[in-house]
Structures are given as C-alpha cells and as structure tokens.
Amino acid sequence: MSKPRISNDTTSDRGHGRIVVLSGPSGVGKSTLAQAVIASTPGIVRSVTYTTRPPRPGEVDGSDYHFISPEAFLQRSGAGEMLESATVHNYLYGTSRLDVDHLRQQGLDVLLVIDYQGAAALRQQHVEALYIFVLPPSMAALEQRLRQRHADHEASLRTRLAIAPTEMAQYQDYDYVIVNDDLKSATQQLQAIVLADRCCLSRLDRRYPIFAELDGWRHERVSSA
C-alpha cells in the first residue's frame, strides 16, 4: 500500500507560521513582489494593512488595504491592537496584531509590507521575523517605476524620491536584501528565503513519522544501556 505523501509545502500542521517583513522605498516593487510570492508559494499570506490614506483608483477595501478614518485608527492603536503603526506621507498605516496572530495560528506565514519605521518598531518589541529589504537596481530605475505606476502627482512623486535615500540607507538593519532588478529572479529570491526558513531546525515540520521513530529509537538505546 502506498503511503499518502506529506507535502513539505503546505503548512497546516507546522505550528505557528513565521512573520515575513518586506520593506523598501515606495515604488521599488514590494506590492508586486508580495503578490507574486503569494501566488507562487503555498502557506504564505499577506496581512492587510489598515490605513487612513484614501484609496487609489482600482484599490479594493479589505483586499489592498483596510481604509479607515483617522478616528477609527487612533481608537484601534489606543486599544493596543496595532502590532506596529507609522505615519508615511501624512497618513497613518498599521498592522493588526489580532489579524497576524490569527493567521499564524493557522500555520500560515504572514507577509507584512511595512516601511522601515514599522520594521524598527517590531525589532524593538523583539518580534521574531524574517526581515527583508528590497532595493531598486538604481535611483533612475526607482524613479521610472514611480512614474510608470501613475499613482502620484509630480509633487508627491518628488517627495517620495527625496526621502528614498534615507529609507534605503536602512537596508543594513535587515537579515536579507533583495535587489529587484528582474522581477522573476527577485520573486524567486524571496520565495527561496521563505522556503529555506521552513527547513530551519527550530521550525522543522515534525509531523513526519521519522521524528517519532527517532525519538523511540533514542529512548530504547538509553533504556537498554
């Protein structure tokens, strides 16, 4: 009788999932990368960020962001519900601790697309996570991407570009750095980091019979010694 194969890609019995932090300057391709890795990697989802920024054309409430009023945001953060929050370009952004815990309890890795201030807040709270920074291949490429996204007026595009070097200088505080030149290879790199982490000794999937078998074998040797 052939045994059912246990897929090493699914995470349902792996215990708590991992927090995966993705930071980088606006326009570097974080959302694009996040979408690509989620589409190609089982067991990783995105926690939807809460924001007071108005939706851009095409953005869907509850899927791209939870769009909420400043009052509702402050009420949540005052109640300690935000794992991290930050003000970016005069709008508030935050990640719900409840949402993240709920997803991790299901064994899912949770991708947080947050800026360096948010990531720093997590580090300060000693939140264990994979901290990943995304850089553009050059400033010119970053500017070109911001322009091709057509989401900003010239003034806010200039602001984004002006603060980009300060943001990018933070890359040295991260565990991993991905240069998003070719999207496909950047996606592969992100996927490789997430998958390799699932093989860490401390995070091994112990559902496989071999672990109980080895424990039994070790126990027998000790008792017969």
Name the minimum Å distance from CB 32 to ligand ADP.
Answer: 3
The DSSP string of 161-224 is HHHHHHHHGGGGGSSEEEE-SSHHHHHHHHHHHHHHHTTSGGG--TTSHHHHHHHHHHHHHHHH
Name the minimum Å distance from CB 140 to ligand ADP.
Answer: 12
If the CB atoms of residues 3 and 184 are measured against ligand ADP, the closer one turns out to be 184
**Cα–Cα distance between 26 and 106 in angstroms, integer?**
31
Sheet holding 82-88, edge to edge: 66-67, 50-51, 91-96, 82-88
Name the minimum Å distance from CB 194 to ligand ADP.
Answer: 18
If the CB atoms of residues 58 and 80 are measured against ligand ADP, the closer one turns out to be 58
If the CB atoms of residues 31 and 170 are measured against ligand ADP, the closer one turns out to be 31
Report the 10 Å Cβ neighbour count for 204.
Answer: 13
**Residue least distant from ligand ADP (Cβ):** 29
Name the minimum Å distance from CB 196 to ligand ADP.
Answer: 22
Query: What residue ranges bind ligand ADP (CB under 6 A)?
Result: 24, 26-32, 145, 148-149, 180, 182-183, 186
